[in-house]
Amino acid sequence: MASQGSSSKFVVVAALAIGGGLLWWLLGRADPEATTEPIADGAGARPDDARRRGLELALRPGAAAELRLARRASITGTIRDDGGEPIAGARVCALVRSWVLPSVDTQNARCSESEADGHYRIDDLFPVRHEVVASAPTFIAGAYKQDEGGRRSGTVSLQPGMEARDIDITLRGGGVELRGVVKDLSGGAVEGAQVSTEHAVGFSGAEGVFSLWVAPGERWVNAHAEGYAGANDGGVVPGHEYQLYLTPEAALVGKVVRAEDGAPVEGVTVTSRSGMGWSWNSQSAITDAAGRFRLGGLEPGAYKAEATGDEVYGLADEQVILGLGETSDPLTVRVHPAFSVRGSVLTKSGESCEDGWLELDDHADARSNNGAIEPDGAVQVRGLLPGEYQVSVRCPGKVPAERYDRVTVVDRSLEGLRWEVGDGHALRGRVVDSRGEPVPAINVRAEAKLAAGQGRAQATSAWSGRTDADGRFELRGLLAGNYDVRASSWSPGRAVPLEPLKVTLPEGRDLDGLKIELPATGELRGRLVDTEGRPIPRASVSLRNGLDWRGCSVTDDGAFSAQDLRPGTYRAVATVDGNSLRSPGTSDDDVQGERIEIVEGEVANLELVVENATGVIRGVVRDEDGGPVADAFVESSREPERAGAASGAAARSNRWGSFSGDPILTDADGRFTIPRIAGKHTLLAHRKGGGEAILEHVAAGDDVVLTIAATGRLSGTVTLAGGGAPEEFSLAAVDEATGLSRRDSFFRSGGAWSLAEIPAGTYKIQVNSGPGSAETEATMVAGRDTEGITIELAPKVTVRGLIVDAEGAPLEGMYVAISGMGRGYAGDDDDKQNVTDSSGRFEVKKASTGSVFISVSSRVSDDYEWTRVPVMIAADAPVAELAPIQVLRRRVERGKVAGDLGYTLKDPDPGADPMERTFVVAFIRPGGPAAKAGLQVGDEIVTVDGVDVRGGRNYLYSGLTRVKVDTTIALGLARGAIVQVTAEERP
């Protein structure tokens, strides 16, 4: 459903990102008849009858409640070093990887210490899937892996009363100590907080201090504790003292009842949905016998409660605005009848898909739901409304069918469905360095390269886990065909081949013996200081050599380093919070940073000196009556001083952070102090979700007053063309001048919608629903409500068109998608009509009308630019036929670097019509290509090499001006002149 689509897909993405290389942490299940005798099992064992019975339990209504009441399980094993010797005193932790249990049961690890012989035991575990990790002083933290060469499984599936034995972990030496402290926002120590980074879990002591043992390098650390929202901090180890500030938790409380009679509903999953964009802080709970729930651990903000059961679904009527440490008034979520779909994902031979997910998409009504696949292949998708659902299956290492029969839900739940996946083929090999030595911890992926005429054919791709100690990898679930095989490495960063390994996978067999050789490298060591020799807190250094990029954090004493860099010339630029630090005496328009040459086998040294940032801004935050605001957060962004910067850019970039670093909170008198200031800043004060104040052009030494003006309510009604209201719809209100946005979804509200505590401003209101979409504008005045806004949805349409090249010849195999901010996405369909045929034709169904973007990319060639075209689609007919869309051939090959033209353009104004985008020169670098050609500040570029780039053709500008070094392009100017600019190497 519309309200569930974004959240369900986001949860999957978040699980992948947090997993750090574990694809899809999925839940294990219970066995209600399991013996109390210990049962030996490994994470990769095939499911037996007992496990299948356990899975049936987990897929029954009330699964979470039954799992919580089921007999607990245990895990035992031994911790050894890489020489096979036991490690005593290692901390071993089991981390729940379940989507059924509520947040309160999944966020806290259960840990124990290994004994003198290295043996450990962890008891009192829920009978679900777990990841097991271990750490010990002087060792690098590690995780349990069932090692099968390049293919490794990393979780343990538990059943009630089960003892999973021989869950052994080997730790390598070379660990370094990561130290830090956990505090609350007042600076007081927080004892007992759980702190974690990759494979290492620890707990803060009486002074808030914690210690973890990890591999050297970049590390991101997370912390949470009872009564607080989570916090995080990043840095390099050794060299950074981590500071994690926990925010007193906000909480949503309420109950879930049946809409028809108000009776409480037990066993329903309730989740928190943020109204301020994507949130990594979603919480879940299970309703008790009285239908009650509590969602704690939330940062301040706007939230809505969503309730999903096997055969019910509902959304709260309105978002709740939560302040710092605030608990909501009890709210009521009314649920309506819904349905579930249950089945199995199996191979033709009956072998189970052991993890992955099943997604059901109803494009007609903009709904999307998914469910995790269990170890025996069982899967359930809950809370479905009637509709026809397109099926997508993801089973790592297997090949899904090119198309599955659609699932039609009418008036009952469906059971016993079966979706088959194929085994496919595998690519196997090793990653080695320039000396032929194996390289661990490298990710490898394979991307299908379709041939001409195969634009609508099925394409497969695969990712490996990190290579093992022998450098081995395996890529499974691939169809026969041509592939680009690429290596990548993020943690630790390491140079990889720029060109992919070209591989042909033959029909009917696997391909072994691939070898990816990493390039020979050099090393950089440096120091970042200001003109007085002081280190820069919380800084990083960005290194770029063409498409090679490496970021490295700076230690607390100013040191930075980067190993395994490809030889060549790099530009090193210092940044804080993503903003470049200026060299002394320079401006934003000057080229920042220093060039450094990296030589194979050598260590280069560099000192980066940047301007002093020793100023201080002081101020007070007041409410509309002049009283102090003691719970306001104050954030600052340095204002860009480059030519052509759009007004308000700093305010738009200064939106809700995650409270990492040193949060600035006003005291009891509303006072605040911002240290380490240079240049002009824009300040944003806000009680998250409850009003804000923006003050621009504030300099070091200023003492300012920020007044949080009264907010108002923005509300109205959404209607369908011809009468009635949509059953469900999503809505976004965006103030493009300040960057403030609020988003919400509504279900069976009769078309009514309302957003509380909206600051003054002019808002674009964008609505998307299955039947249609629309956009309007509304103005909010401080302290006043804006009500009665009626938005009539324009019916969605089928869009047809033609994709051609620069000469007008049709292009086959071009993927076409249509999107509008806050107005939905259209493009993916199981018959691939959105991919152009041999005549260049495409068709996209259920597309929004009005101002949208059409994105075009090739499935069969790297020769063409990715293209994003602004288009106005009329709503006066069910089928819209577009004018031909021109896609340019790349002037710079994929993976190559474009030359520099020596000028920058004026930013478009916020909210400007993208079809009216113009290209006005804002700055010309002295001595650069544009200066030599006679281009002038203020010139408007109207043609490139004779091609008109005005109005609806402005999307061509980017591709036409991305050219190789020494290429000359002709820029036609509005003043009638044509200048010839020859691209040079980037400075």
pLDDT for the residue numbered 36: 28
The DSSP string of 326-344 is -BPPPEEEEEEE-EEEEEE
Yes or no: say if 751 and 789 are a contact pair by the CB < 8 Å rule.
no
The model's pLDDT over 137-183, given as tens digits with 9 standing for 90+, comes to 999 999 998 754 444 557 898 989 999 999 999 999 999 999 999 99
Cα distances from 522 to residues 134, 606, 641, 712, in angstroms, run 33, 14, 36, 58
Distance CA 253, CA 31 (A): 32
CA distances 238 to 53, 141, 217, 540, Å, are 48, 15, 7, 15
Q: Let me know the angle formed at the C-alpha of 246 by 240 and 251, rounded to the nearest 5 degrees.
A: 155
Distance CA 778, CA 787 (A): 10
Distance CA 136, CA 175 (A): 9
Residue 891 DSSP one-character state: S
Closest residue by Cα to residue 368 from 376, 378, 357, 352: 357
For the residues of 656-679, what is the DSSP string, one character each? -----S---B--TTSEEEEEEE-S
Residues of the chain with pLDDT under 70: 1-63, 65, 147-153, 277-280, 654-661, 688-689, 821-822
End-to-end alpha carbon distance in the chain: 50
> In 777-928, which ranges are continuous DSSP H helix?
none
C-alpha 971/C-alpha 979 separation (Å) is 5
Spatial CA neighbour of 596 closest among 574, 568, 554: 568
Q: Which residues pair with 183 in a beta bridge?
A: 189, 245
Amino acid letter, 542: S
CA distances from 104 to 155, 225, 294, 295, 754 (A): 20, 11, 10, 9, 31
What tokens does 331 get? 């709210």
Given this model, what pLDDT does residue 831 score?
84
d(CA 407, CA 308): 20
Nearest to 758 by CA among 787, 785, 739: 785
Residue 654, pLDDT score: 66
Distance CA 623, CA 708 (A): 5
At which residue do the structure tokens 């353009």 appear? 905
Beta strands in 158-282 (DSSP E): 163-164, 169-173, 176-184, 194-197, 200-203, 209-214, 217-224, 228-229, 231-237, 242-248, 250-258, 269-274
Q: How many CB atoms lie within 10 A of CB 803?
A: 27
Give the torsion through C-alpha atoms of 957, 958, 962, 968, to 10 deg: 10
Q: Are 174 and 214 in contact (CB under 8 A)?
A: no
Task: Give which of 308, 271, 267 is closest to 67, Cα–Cα.
Answer: 267
Q: In this structure, are strands 919-924 and 903-905 parallel, antiparallel, or unpaired?
A: antiparallel
Question: What are the pLDDT digits (tens) for 613-665?
Answer: 889 999 999 999 999 999 888 988 888 888 988 888 888 876 644 434 577 89
Other CB atoms within a 10 A radius of the CB of residue 115 amount to 15
Tokens of 844: 């996209």
Structure tokens at 116: 């003198």
**Residue 445: its pLDDT value, please?**
96
